[in-house]
Structures are given as structure tokens and as C-alpha cells.
Amino acid sequence: MSDGIPFAGEPADSHEAIMRATFRALREYGYAGLSIQRIADEADLSKSTFYHHFDGKEDLLLSFQEFILTEFNRIFQIESTGDPEQDIKTFVSLILDDFPDCVETPTKNAVLGSYVEMRAQAVQNPDFREKFTETDELFARQLVQIIEDGIEQGVFADVDPDTVSRFMITILDGVILQSATRNDNPVAEVRDTIDEYIEETLILNT
């Protein structure tokens, strides 16, 4: 747990090193304090190397969003068991920053805080709005697939996967926002409620 970064192993190349450095810089300085120089310093790379990969800060952060999504999918695939009941709970845990032992754990709320700061840019920036719309759709489709698998296997009730997915994603987004912007942490309480919803609405009691 040396670096406090939710990524496994060493970066594969300078692009990935910059992505990880962006995470560290966001965690330490926030979006407003983020700069190319600080990211380059965190990555121990020159600014010329940075500009070899990216046109500027906005281009970097849009790429960073893709990187985080890829990392989420990588970790989920590692943790996925093929059991829809377990997989939907794993999906919720990863969204709420409850990382498994296979990755290094960040400081409390670091990932959620960075996510909220990034998402706030979508209010005024259409490129960020498009990227987060795309991200939400990808998460929703992934959740739909888990629910459809559960219905097909006879584990879940015959619900509308799209409706349940949209509902759960909306709840999770709300929890992320509150967790990152409040002094107390509502995750544990809301997580219990989400688990109850899964048990009472989705899982077939035989």
C-alpha cells in the first residue's frame, strides 16, 4: 500500500505513468490546482514528454477519464466470479471506492473526490459532458448485462434490466457526490440499503 494509488503493478509506459501522476496530482491539488508542471513532476517526466502525448490539460483529463474507466473494467474482470449476485455487489463496491486486496488502496475518498471534481467540469464544458454521458452509458450497460445474466440463470427476478440499471446508477452517483462533499460519510448506511434493494427486488428467494 505504498503509493496509495488504486492501480496494480508498475506503469507499462510513459502514457500510463502520466495517467497515474494525474491521479496523484488531482488527489493532492484538486482540479483548480492541477497543472501540467505538477503532473510532469509527479510522473518524473519532462513537459516535452507530456506534450508528446497530449495537447493540453483538457486533452489529458479526457484521456484520464478513459483510463479510469479502463482500470475499473480491468479490476471488475479480475473480481468477477460469473455469479450474478456476487458480481452486482462487486460492481457496487468498486463504484463506491471499496477496492479489493488486488489493488493498492487510496486515501479515504480520494478516488470519489477526484471523480466529482472531474465531473463538475461537464457543467460548462461540452466535451466533458459528452465523455461523462458516454461513461454513464457504459456503466449502465455493464450493469444491465449482469442483471440479464442473473435473469437468464434464474438467480434474479424477471425485472426490466434497463430500469433497474438506471435506478441503481442514479443512486450510486448521488452517494458518490455526498460522500465526496460531506464531513460525514453516508456510504455505509446507503450501501446497506442498496444491499437490501438487491435482496428484496432482484434476488429470487427459493
Residues 33-73: pLDDT tens digits?
888 889 988 888 888 888 888 888 889 989 988 888 888 88
Residues of the chain with CATH 1.10.357.10: 78-202
* Bridge partners, 156 (sequence order): 203
Q: Is 156 helix (H, G, I), strand (E, B) or coil?
A: strand
Q: Report whether 127 contacts 65 (CB < 8 A).
A: no
* Bridge partners, 203 (sequence order): 156
Amino acid, single-letter form, for residue 54: F
pLDDT of the residue at 167: 94
Counting residues of the chain whose pLDDT is more than 70, the rounded percentage is: 87
Report the distance separating Cα 200 and Cα 205, nearest Å.
9
What CATH number was assigned to the domain covering residues 78-202? 1.10.357.10
Report the distance separating Cα 142 and Cα 168, nearest Å.
12
pLDDT of the residue at 109: 54
Q: Crossing angle for the helix pair 126-152 and 57-79, nearest 10 degrees? A: 10
In 44-92, DSSP assigns E strands to: none
At CA 97, angle to CA 173 and CA 200, rounded to 5? Answer: 65
Report the distance separating Cα 9 and Cα 24, nearest Å.
16
Report the distance separating Cα 130 and Cα 169, nearest Å.
17
pLDDT of the residue at 147: 97
What CATH number was assigned to the domain covering residues 1-57? 1.10.10.60
Q: Report whether 172 contacts 187 (CB < 8 A).
A: no
pTM of the model: 0.80
Report the distance separating Cα 150 and Cα 159, nearest Å.
10
pLDDT of the residue at 206: 60
Residues 164-206: pLDDT tens digits?
999 999 998 888 888 878 888 778 788 889 999 999 999 997 6
* Residue with more model confidence, 182 or 123: 123
Number of CB atoms found within 10 A of residue 178's CB: 16
CB within 8 Å of 161: residues ≥ 6 apart: 143, 144, 147, 148, 151
Residues of the chain with CATH 1.10.10.60: 1-57
